[in-house]
Amino acid sequence: MEYDFEVTTTLSFLIRNNSELLLTLKKRGFGQGKWNTPGGKVEAGESAEASAIREIKEEVGIDVMSIKNLGFIEFVWPAEKSEYNTRCFIFLATDFSGEAKESDECRPGWFRFDAIPYDQMWDDDKHWYPEALAGKMFKKRFFFSPDERVVTIEDI
């Protein structure tokens, strides 16, 4: 089945010392109060890669020198929340400079891989973060219930 994804976004895994992941606590908007990786909407005429680099700079003030595309995830919501249907490109960066700084959108924090706060994140994250942290390529589709729980996962 084909789905219409009017919104394209990015999420980026910034990893340091092969053991820590940068997460951001969303302060407003969609996902407020949840930890996630830096990311956001791809603007018209912008590549997903350029968007990822821009979003990292805007959200946490870090300059990325190189970034690797790990694939994408499609998030499919019930009809009453279909405006949240999104195709999200996932990136990995280990070559960056600067210190993470708080912005009006989010507060950054570094987490050891074994201390990622999945209970304070989107329900899907625990299912695919380990693959991204390992640098594996993937394409997945997550179906959500109205209460933001994962109902079905597909590899695509």
Residue from 95, 83, 73 nearest 142 by CA: 73
Q: What digits encode the pLDDT tens for the residues 29-45?
A: 889 999 999 999 999 99
Is the predicted pLDDT of residue 1 greater than 70, yes or no?
no
Q: Which helix (H) or strand (E) holds 26?
A: strand 20-26
How much is the pLDDT for 70?
98
Task: Give bridge partners of residue 15 from the DSSP assignment.
Answer: 21
Checking if the pLDDT of 54 tops 90, the result is yes
Question: Is it the case that residue 77 has pLDDT exceeding 90?
Answer: yes
Prediction pTM value: 0.94
- pLDDT at position 28 is 93
pLDDT value of residue 40: 94
For residue 16, give the DSSP letter. Answer: E
In Å, what is the CA distance from 43 to each residue of 1, 7, 8, 48, 63? 26, 10, 8, 9, 19
The token pair at 92 is 């990995």
